[in-house]
Structure formats: C-alpha cells, structure tokens
Structure 1
Amino acid sequence: MNVALWCAQILLAVVFTTSGAMKSTLPKDDLVARGQTGVQFFPTPAIRLIAASELLGVVGLILPELTGIAPVLTPLAAVGLALLMIGATVTHVLLREPKNIAITVTIFVVCVFVAVGRFAD
C-alpha cells in the first residue's frame, strides 16, 4: 500500500507542480490557450493565489512523509488539493467541459486516495 501511495503522491506532485508553475508565471490568455480554461473566471491575483496553494500542496505531499517530520501534514495537503479540485470541477461544469471535468474528478479521487491512505497510516 505504501508503494501505491508514494506513486500517487509523486503523480500528484508532478501534476500540481506543472499547474502551479504555469499559473504563477503565465498570463491568463496563455493559460487558457494551454488548456487551463477555468482561470478565465478569476482575476490574476486569484490565479496566483491558486498557484501558490498548489505549490505549497506539493511540498506538503512529499516532504513530511519523506522526512518523517510532521507526517500528518501529508494527508492534510492531499485534502487541501482535493478541495482545490472541487472548485476546479465546479468551474469546468459551468464551462460545460466534459474532458476537463473528467480530469479534475480523477485528480480529486487520487487526492482522496492519498488522504485516506496516509490518515490510516
């Protein structure tokens, strides 16, 4: 189970690092052109806040469990990222984007898997 959880954490770390890096550096129009269509509803400061949340979530997914220092932060980071995915899913529902809805729901499920698995640990 530990291997599956680590694989899920690494997958989430890659996804959220990529997304957070893009949201923290690119203008809104470029983000929409690259498929992050949900940002069109939000002002740039909100997009940057979401980016910071994603990047901090990545740190929380990996470092506490890896170092053994405050490992309870890992499932809490997964819960926080799951909450972001709920918001992303709602946004994509409003935009009527079934492909993006499927992606965000899948990421949500992986976040929940990590949260439940690490809380049980």
Structure 2
Amino acid sequence: MNIAYWIVAGLLALFYFYAGTLKVIRSRDQLRPMMAWVDHIPLPALRALGTVEVLGAIGLILPPLTGIAPSLASAAAIGFVLLQIGAIAVHLRIEDRRIALNAGLIVTAAVTAWLATRL
C-alpha cells in the first residue's frame, strides 16, 4: 500500500503543483487557452486557488515523508476532492460540459485519501 500511495499521491501532487503554480504566476490571458473558466472568477480568487493547490500538493508529500502529522495527507486529498466538486459546479454553471478531467481527479484524490489512511 505504501508504494501505491507514493505513486498516486506523487502524480496527484505533481499535477496540482504545476496547475497551482500556473494560476499564481500567469496572467488571465495566458491561462485562458487552457482554462476557459478564468474569466468567470475574480483574479484574487484565482491566485488564492492556485496557492491552495500548491499547498495541498505539498500536504500530500511532506507529512508522510517526514512522519510529522501524516494525517494531513488525508486532509489534503479530501480537500482536493472538495475542490474538484466545486470545479465541476463552476464548469456546469458556465455551461462547459468538459468535466472528465475533474471527475478523474476526484477519483484519484479519493483513492489517495484512502491510501493515506493505510500509511
């Protein structure tokens, strides 16, 4: 189970670290081709979302790696499930039906949360 956690959590953390960093450092115009929904939320909220994603990615890796408060990994994974539920709501509100990635991230984050309880 330990190896499975590190594979799944590592991939999830890599995805969120990359996506969060883009949201923090890129302009709205640079993000628009990848994320059509960026025009529907305020820029400070977009930056905050990116920061949350980066911190969550760190939360998946650092606590189990150091052994300090490893339950935070479960909390980070559950936070990503909730984040993607909100993302699906945003997509549906703006009538964007492309939610397959969001659904896949929900499943991956849920599996990560379950594996984190087995560490």
Query: TM-score with structure 1 length normalisation?
Result: 0.91
Segments ≥4 residues shifted beyond 4 Å:
none
- How far residue 96 of structure 1 moved from its aligned partner, in angstroms, is 3.7
Task: Kindly indicate whether the alpha-carbon contact (under 8 Å) linking 1:89 and 1:104 is maintained by their aligned counterparts in 2.
Answer: yes
Amino acid in the other structure paired with 1:67: T
Fraction of identical pairs, as percent: 37
Task: Kindly indicate whether the alpha-carbon contact (under 8 Å) linking 2:4 and 2:115 is maintained by their aligned counterparts in 1.
Answer: no
More helix by share: 1
Whole-angstrom CA distance in 2 between matches of 1:57 and 1:38: 21
Indicate the residue corresponding to 1:46 in structure 2. Answer: 45
Indicate the residue corresponding to 1:111 in structure 2. Answer: 109
Task: Kindly indicate whether the alpha-carbon contact (under 8 Å) linking 1:38 and 1:88 is maintained by their aligned counterparts in 2.
Answer: no
- How far residue 2 of structure 1 moved from its aligned partner, in angstroms, is 1.7
- How far residue 94 of structure 1 moved from its aligned partner, in angstroms, is 2.7
- How far residue 65 of structure 1 moved from its aligned partner, in angstroms, is 0.5
Select the structure with the greater relative contact order (CA < 8 A; seq sep ≥ 6). 2
Query: TM-score with structure 2 length normalisation?
Result: 0.92
Indicate the residue corresponding to 1:22 in structure 2. Answer: 22
- How far residue 95 of structure 1 moved from its aligned partner, in angstroms, is 3.5
- How far residue 119 of structure 1 moved from its aligned partner, in angstroms, is 2.1
Structure 2, unmatched stretches of 5+, are none
Whole-angstrom CA distance in 2 between matches of 1:62 and 1:72: 11
Q: How many residues align?
A: 119
Task: Kindly indicate whether the alpha-carbon contact (under 8 Å) linking 1:21 and 1:51 is maintained by their aligned counterparts in 2.
Answer: yes
Q: Deviations over 1:23-61 (max 9, x none)?
A: 00111121111x112222111000001011001101100
Q: Deviations over 1:81-117 (max 9, x none)?
A: 1111111111222334344x00011011110111122
Structure 1, unmatched stretches of 5+, are none
